[in-house]
Structure 1
Amino acid sequence: MENNFIYSTDELKHHWQGHRGLTRRVIDAFPEKELFSYSIGGMRPFSEMAMELIRIAEAGMEQMANRNLDPSGQLHTGAKPATKAELLDLWDKVSEKADLLWAKMPPARFRETEKAFGEYEGTVISLMQYFFDNEIHHRGQGYVYLRSLGVEPPPFWDRY
């Protein structure tokens, strides 16, 4: 089967991990209290958005790599992080796990159809792009929060 990707699968993983690194720096830029409590216009605190991204990355990659469906997206069953350090530690563990799971996927897997979380059907590559887009969307919300708190967010173009 011909590989018609613009990126190699390794380059695509590097691209995603660049986004994950930037989102990690956004998490780290938050003052401790506001990370877990600050909200604008009824949006969730950024820690809750980060937990959504953690669940999507962990459960989504588990499903894409091992075909293990967890419709709840709740693979992380440990205690919810209560501090910024705990949240960053969990973020790092999930990033490492995503790398290991990614390595298990042959290029042909990206063209296969999957139903993410038992609900969203598409090719693995399209589902992965959703994971990336969702993270970028929530990171943008984090930028708004940080700016409203008077905190300069990390440069959005510096993903590595």
Structure 2
Amino acid sequence: MSKNESKTAIQEVITPAELLKHWQGHRSLTRRVIEAFPEKEFFNHSIGGMRTFAEMTLELLAIAGPGLKEIVTKETQALNEHIDHKDQKNLVLKLWDQATEEIDTYFNQITPDSFQDTIKTFGQYEGTVISSILYFIDNEIHHRGQGYVYLRDLGIEPPFFWER
């Protein structure tokens, strides 16, 4: 299959607008998982040596918006998970909402014919535009699953995963 045929096949399966809507559905669900955590446990609870859900959330914040910005502007930046949140969950939620808007802004600047372009995000992760975006989504789902385990360990019913 040629590069152009590959692009056409992907567009027949899902449009860029549908992909963005799918991703934003996941982000909405992850936001509800963040909200479900009590303040103290969001920053302190972990199981088996894993990071806290706050630390995982900071990773997600460091990847999605900045990664898309890098894809669009082609300005390489280092991955930076050190985001000042002042140990306040409401500030993390505000940062989450800002990143969600940033995703909308930059995603809508990606042209359909560039999804198969080879890129290197954060100066080190090589792939295509679409494989990078799918990684951003998959990584969020993975960490949200860890958040579900934490919530259940705390005796808190997590949001239904299918309600995106």
Same fold, judged at TM 0.5 (above): yes
Q: Aligned to 1:83, which of 69, 84, 88?
A: 88
CA distance in 1, matches of 2:83, 2:57: 15
Q: 1:16 Cα shift?
A: 0.5
Distance 2:130 2:54 in 1: 27
User: 1:26 maps to what in 2?
Assistant: 33
Structure 2, gaps ≥5 residues long: none
**May I ask how many residue pairs the two structures share in their alignment?**
157
Q: Deviations over 1:71-91 (max 9, x none)?
A: x222x8762342111000000
1:63 aligns with 2:42: no
Match of 1:42 in 2: 49
Larger of the two Rg values belongs to structure = 2
SS in structure 2 opposite 1:121? strand
Give the Cα–Cα distance (whole angstroms) in 2 for the partners of residues 73 and 14 of structure 1. Answer: 25
Structure 2 residue aligned with 1:103: 108
| 1:78-115 Cα shifts (integer Å, max 9, x gaps) | 62342111000000000001100011111011110001
Equivalence for 2:154: 149
The answer to whether the Cα contact below 8 Å between 2:29 and 2:163 also exists between their aligned partners in 1 is yes
Provide the C-alpha distance between the structure 1 equivalents of 2:111 and 2:137, rounded to a whole number of angstroms.
19
* 2:115 alignment partner AA: F
Higher helix share: 2
The alignment's C-alpha RMSD in Å is 1.4
Equivalent-residue separation in structure 2 for 1:21 and 1:65 (angstroms): 23
**How many percent of aligned residue pairs carry the same amino acid?**
51
TM-score, with structure 1 as normaliser: 0.93
